[in-house]
Chain A
Amino acid sequence: KVTHPGVASGVGPVPPPPCPGRIRHFKI
Chain B
Amino acid sequence: TPVVLGLEERNPACDDPETEAAALAGVDYLNQHVRWGYKHVLNQIDKVRVWPRRPSGEVYELEFDTLETTCHALDITPLANCSVRTVTQHAVEGDCDMHVLKQDGQFSVVFAKCESTPDSREDVRKVCPQCPLLTPVNNTKVVHAANAALAAFNAQNNGSHFELLEISRAQLVPLPVSTYVEFAVVATDCAAADGTDPACSGPPKKQYGFCKATVAEKLGGEEVSVTCTVFPTQPVAPLPQPDAASSANPPPAADPAVSPPSSPSVPVDSVALGPKRV
Contact = CB atoms under 8 A, between A and B. Distances in A.
B43 A19 contact: no
B13 A23 contact: no
Contact of B87 (A18, A23, A28): A28
Given A28-B91, A28-B119, A18 B12 contact: yes
A4 to B, nearest CB: 36
Given A18-B12, A19-B13, A19-B14, A24 B43 contact: yes
A20 B44 contact: yes
B9 interface: no
Interface majority SS (helix, strand, loop, mixed), chain A: loop
Interface stretch (B45-53, B101-109, B145-153, B199-207): B45-53
A21 B19 contact: yes
Contacts of B222: none
Contacts of B11: 18
B134 to A, nearest CB: 13
B255 interface: no
A22 interface: yes
Given A28-B87, A28-B119, A19 B45 contact: yes
Interface string A1-28: 0000000000000001011111111111
25 contacts: A18-B11, A18-B12, A18-B13, A18-B14, A19-B13, A19-B14, A19-B45, A19-B46, A20-B14, A20-B44, A21-B14, A21-B15, A21-B20, A21-B46, A24-B41, A24-B42, A24-B44, A25-B41, A25-B67, A25-B84, A26-B43, A27-B44, A28-B67, A28-B93, A28-B119
Interface of A: 16, 18-28
Given A20-B46, A24-B41, A26-B87, 9 more contacts: A18-B11, A19-B45, A20-B44, A21-B13, A21-B44, A22-B44, A24-B43, A26-B91, A28-B93
